[in-house]
Amino acid sequence: MPTYDVFHSCSLTAEETGQLALAITQIHSTSFGVPSLFVSIYFHDVSSQAAYAGGKRRTSPNRITAEVRPEAHSREELLGLLQDISDAWNKVLNVTSSTAGDKELTILLAVPGFTAGIENGLELPKGGDDFAWLKASKAEFERRAQAGQSDFAQLLKELNTLYGI
């Protein structure tokens, strides 16, 4: 459902990208009740790309763009989400106001996402209809888990733990 694109010009290790992906997933899942399987995160090294601000060439900024369904969340909720993600970035990369340098997260955006979509072969719900969709799709999740798809076995555990489904 949500898709995060993390554009970084600073060097990130595999451990750091893993920690950031886990943090963003947990923040989004706990903030909006989206099962972790449906939170997608992509990392893009943009250190060699040209970037301009004020008409002057700059180092490409570290930035995160979150594609979310706007009808499901208020501006205040989205700003809170972005602040939590910024805090997670700073924690994972040990960034403080005096040490930011090339690791500073300069831009965070929540942009309108899809109006219709298919993920893992499943038609995705409209924003705000997630819980009903999860309940209605449980039999399909169970079928896939029984067929050996471990992501769906984990999804079923998460649905039971978080939502009692």
Reported as a single tens digit per residue, the pLDDT across 45-104 is 999 998 888 898 888 889 999 999 867 788 899 999 999 999 999 999 999 877 768 899
* Segment 114-156, tens digit of pLDDT: 778 888 888 888 877 888 899 999 999 999 999 999 999 999 9
124 inside domain? no
73 and 147 within one domain: no
Q: Are residues 61 and 133 in the same domain?
A: no
Q: Which residue range is the domain that position 138 belongs to?
A: 129-165
Instruction: Examine the domain organization and report whether 100 and 152 are in the same domain.
Output: no
Residues 112 and 139 in one domain: no
pLDDT digits (tens, 9 = 90+) for 2-56: 999 999 999 999 999 999 999 999 999 999 888 999 999 999 999 999 888 889 8
- Total structural domains within the chain: 2
Q: 7 has which bridge partners?
A: 44, 63
What b-and-e string marks burial along 86-100, b requiring 16 or more CB atoms within 10 Å of the CB? eebbbebbebeeeee
Structure tokens at 77: 């909720």
> How far apart (Å, rounded) are the C-alpha atoms in residues 101 and 122?
42
**Whole-angstrom Cα distance, residue 127 to residue 69?**
6
Q: Are residues 79 and 8 in the same domain?
A: yes
Q: Looking at the structure, tell me whether residues 21 and 62 fall in a common domain.
A: yes
> Do 1 and 69 touch, CB atoms closer than 8 A?
yes
Verify that 115 and 133 share a domain, yes or no: no
One domain for residues 138 and 110: no
Residue 60: what pLDDT? 81
Q: Do 79 and 150 belong to one domain? A: no
Q: Are residues 114 and 133 in the same domain?
A: no
The per-residue pLDDT for 96 is: 85
For residue 144, being part of any structural domain is answered with yes
| Residue 163 and residue 106 share a domain | no
Give the pLDDT confidence score for residue 155 in this predicted structure: 92
